[in-house]
Amino acid sequence: MPDKVQPIYRPSGEHGEIIVYAGDLAVTQGADTGRVRGWLALSLTPAPRLSAHFAGPASDLHVLTPCSGVEPSVAIPDGAPLTPPIAFAPPGDPGDINWVSEDITVDEIAHGDVMAATRFVFHISGALDARSFPPVEVVGGGHQRQLEFGLSPWDLVIAQVDGRSRDGFGFVVEARPNRQRAPSTTSTHWSGDCSSC
């Protein structure tokens, strides 16, 4: 029996930002590096933008001051949990004159070893019709419209998201190396090899 496939990220807030991380961030400015509490947010409209946000007392955020017009670099510290926060609210401004709110656009991303990944989840918004997807009984009870297919050496499943909000994702695609996902006995199987693509 297959697992239910759910989105990892969900839009939140009045502008539909997706909070992808919240916690300590390593901020480097010139030769200085400090840890600052903050969050990373992805906006998809009007244009895609990934940004790091910080809010707190000025004494905690001094490392964010631009040096020679160059914005600081931001990194998620090694070992930090990458699970997106389920419920997140940015710290509110208490009206203190020493309160600072800053954001930094992330223009370049350095990542870890992608070859070590065992699962990818792609979030899809837009018009798809899940009526042709068979309802599949999933682990934990209930059903979800899913369609399994293969693209060697990956097993993929596209699934309709339950309870989609107006700005949310309607579908997710989960990709795992072959034979890492519990098989379904009711889904249609497609397979293909894209080695010549």
For residues 109 and 65, the answer to whether their CB atoms sit within 8 Å is no
Mean residue pLDDT of the chain comes to 79
Average pLDDT on 174-188 reads 61
Query: Is it the case that residue 146 has pLDDT exceeding 90?
Result: yes
Give the lowest-confidence range in 45-49, 128-132, 193-197: 193-197
Q: How confident is the model at residue 194 (pLDDT cuts 50, 70, 90)?
A: very low
Average pLDDT on 108-135 reads 82
Q: How confident is the model at residue 195 (pLDDT cuts 50, 70, 90)?
A: very low
CA dist., res. 103 & res. 187, Å (int): 45
- Through-space distance between the first and last CA atoms of the chain, rounded to whole angstroms: 32
Integer angstrom CA distances of residue 192 from 24, 37, 150, 154: 42, 45, 6, 10
Q: Sheet harboring 171-177: ordered strands across? A: 120-124, 171-177, 154-160, 143-151, 135-137
Give the lowest-confidence range in 69-73, 108-112, 126-130, 184-188: 184-188
**What is the number of other CB atoms lying within 10 angstroms of the CB of residue 155?**
20
Structure confidence by residue, pLDDT tens digits, 31-40:
778 888 889 9
Tell me the pairing of strands 17-29 and 73-75: antiparallel
Ordered by start, the domain boundaries in the chain are 11-105, 114-177
Q: Which residues of 136-151 are buried (b: 16+ CB within 10 A; e: fewer)?
A: bebeeeeebbbbbbee
